[in-house]
Amino acid sequence: MTITLNPVLPGRRTVEDLRETAERGAALLRGASAHRVVEWAVAEFGERFCVTSSFADAVLAHLVSSVVPGVDVVFLDTGLHFSETLRVRDQVAHTLPVRVLSITPVRTVGQQDGEYGPRLFSRSPDECCAMRKVEPLERALRPYDAWAAGLRRDEGPSRARTEPVGFEESRAKVKLAPLAYWTQADVDAYIARHDVPVNRLIDQGYASVGCWPCTRRTAPGEDPRAGRWPMFDKVECGLHTP
Ligand code: SF4
């Protein structure tokens, strides 16, 4: 089913309205298919709904654009991505019916090095993520009431309780995780069925792909998030708040 985007609604919805909508959606969509979650989000939020992607693969962007062609896909271009990741971003921009928005941090990597010293990621990754990911995401999300991310329960303990619909109090946004109940096998099957662009690093042993300084390969059977910030007790960058 393809839905035409609604025109932008006049006036912002209140935080209370968004919270109630999220609660209603959460009750309605528990156990629903990913397509059904996306259809609900598009019907509720129209052009105030976007997708985010780190371009480990393009499954979510592909799935959402099959429901709503022209959807905005936000990519946080930290300046420290693998070239393979940027290749997937460019492939998606050229082959899928989406509008890819590459959002950059306030400071270039060089400016950050000058102000905070080189390799901040190796000394204070929370500070680095706050400047290169969290602030840009919050800036990027301003025009939207709801956003979808590709979080799945099977990605590790930090994501094991992900629900398809929730409300982020700190950002006052409705948060969608249409793939919450998908397994890696579901993802692989979708990629094969639809010939979806995939990051080449996945085949090289990177179960989760982030910035190159903070990502390593994982062993078969290892927690997929174990390859992120391997030198630190950190498994999330701060984008996905409770
Ligand atoms: S993942 Fe690493 S390099 Fe990227 S923003 Fe976070 S700390 Fe910085």
pLDDT digits (tens, 9 = 90+) for 98-127: 999 999 999 999 999 999 999 999 999 999
Distance from the alpha carbon of residue 86 to the mean position of ligand 1, in angstroms: 16
pLDDT score of 2 more than 50: no
**pLDDT, position 242:** 52
Pocket probe for ligand 1: among 112, 131, 133, the residue whose CB has the most ligand atoms within 8 Å is: 133
- Tell me what pLDDT residue 223 has: 77
CB 82 within 8 A of CB 76: no
Give the pLDDT of residue 227.
Answer: 76
Residues flanking ligand 1, CB < 6 Å: 78, 80, 121, 125, 128-129, 132-133, 210-211, 213-214, 237
Task: Report pLDDT for 229.
Answer: 66
Q: Decide which of 167 and 2 is more confident.
A: 167
211 among known catalytic residues? no
pLDDT of residue 208: 86
Give CA torsion, residues 184, 186, 192, 198, to 10 deg: -40
Confidence of residue 145 (pLDDT cuts 50, 70, 90): very high
- Mean residue pLDDT across the chain: 91
Q: What band does 21 get if pLDDT is binned at 50, 70 and 90?
A: very high
> pLDDT above 70 covers what percent of the chain?
91
pLDDT-derived band at 7 (thresholds 50, 70, 90) equals: very low
Question: How many Å lie between the centroid of ligand 1 and the Cα of residue 39?
Answer: 33
pTM, 2 dp: 0.91
DSSP assignment of the chain, as one string?
---PPPPPPSSPPPHHHHHHHHHHHHHHHTT--HHHHHHHHHHHHGGGEEEE---SB-HHHHHHHHHSTTEEEEEE--S-B-HHHHHHHHHHHHHSSEEEEEEPPSS-HHHHHHHH-S-HHHH-HHHHHIIIIIHHHHHHTTT-SEEE----GGG-GGGTT--SEEEETTTTEEEE-TTTT--HHHHHHHHHHHT--B-GGGGGT-SS--BGGGB----TTS-GGGGBSTTSS----SSS--
Most confident of 149-158, 176-185, 232-241: 176-185
